[in-house]
Amino acid sequence: MSELDDDTSVTEVGEGLWSASINPRWNVGSAPNGGYLIALGARAMLAASGRPDPLTVTAHYVSPPEPGPVAVSTEVVRAGRRYATVTAAIRQGDRERVRLIGATGDLAAQSGPTRIGAAAPRARAPLACATAAGERAPEVARRYELRLDPSGGESEVEGPCEVSGWIRLSDGAPPSVLALLAFSDAFPPAVLAALDVGWVPTVELTVHVRARPEPGWVLGRFRTRFLLDGLFEEEGELWSEDGRLLAQSRQLALILPRR
């Protein structure tokens, strides 16, 4: 069992109702990281639908949860042959925290044509990259070994903001499909390469899981091109060590002034 498995575990307590607990070791400041929360919601969606893989998951972050117990309610909207459509709501008391919708399926049973129209990104080897976690890093940063490619940390004045590097779970557990969801929101926001901003809460995060990961490092590349009136997108890709695409992510986030 990995820390991520432990801290996303769900127990069925009724028809479409699950109990879970938010562990503060995934916090950024006083609020849990969004990647951890989408993994927790997806864990319940997989259990509710009886499928092994989250093909696509969308999370809307409604209000910041506190550490401690949560109730997750799930609805299997449709259970099809190829995939199931599932929703989840994470609640604390009468406060909703995260609402999710996704399609769950079985990537190993998926069949059809393959055509790859883009090369895997070139990256320095993990050990040639810089360790991201400093003394002032948030609690969640200790859950990951994150090695940022220094060439991806600076952005041109007119170019996209980019951040790239290698990631793995710091407890040594191999990456899982749920870890890919967590990794999609585990890097420092790419927009920080260009702007000194206060707080960048995610409105919406969608992750497409395209392949199951194998043991080893995962290469992440995240890019923001359009910051318009304080709203920005961040598009991400996760790749295996041997250059297979594992996941694609995109989020819409807000820049808020320092509090």
Sites of contact with a copy of itself (CB under 8 A): 55-56, 58, 60, 62-63, 77-78, 82-83, 85, 87, 96, 99, 101-103, 107, 110-118, 155, 158-161, 191, 194-195, 197, 203-204, 206, 208, 210-211, 224-231, 233, 245, 248, 250, 252, 254-256
Residue among 16 and 24 whose Cβ is closer to a copy of itself: 16
Measured from the CB atom, the residue of 15 and 158 that comes closer to a copy of itself is: 158
| CB 112, min distance to a copy of itself, A | 2
Rounded least distance, CB 156 to a copy of itself, Å: 8
231: left (phi over 0), alpha (psi -120 to 50) or beta: beta
- With a CB cutoff of 8 Å and minimum separation 6, the contacts of 38 are 57, 59, 98, 100, 181, 182, 184, 185, 205, 207
Q: Can you say whether the dihedral through the CA atoms of 59, 64, 67, 71 is positive or negative? A: negative
Which one, 3 or 233, has the nearer CB to a copy of itself? 233
Residue 57: name the closest of 72, 66, 46, 65 by CA: 46
Neighbours of 30 (CB within 10 A): 10
Contacts of 179 (CB under 8 A, 6+ apart): 2, 4, 39, 169, 173, 213, 218
Q: For a copy of itself, which is the closer residue by CB, 24 or 64?
A: 64
In angstroms, give the least distance from the CB of 191 to a copy of itself.
Answer: 8
Could you give the CA distance from residue 147 to residue 140 in angstroms, rounded to a whole number? 15
Q: Could you tell me the smallest distance in angstroms from the CB atom of residue 171 to a copy of itself? A: 29
Least Å from the CB of residue 143 to a copy of itself: 27
* Beta-bridge mates of residue 130: 148
CB of 213 to a copy of itself, least distance (A): 14
Angle among Cα 171, 43, 191 to the nearest 5 degrees reads 70
Place of tokens 């109990």: 19
Complex with a copy of itself: residue 84 or 141, whichever CB lies closer: 84
Question: What stretch of H or E contains 180?
Answer: helix 177-183
The smaller minimum CB distance to a copy of itself, of residues 117 and 134, is found at: 117
Taking the least distance from each CB to a copy of itself, the nearer of 6 and 214 is 214
Using only C-alpha atoms, what is the Rg of the chain? 18
Minimum Å gap between C-beta 56 and a copy of itself is 5
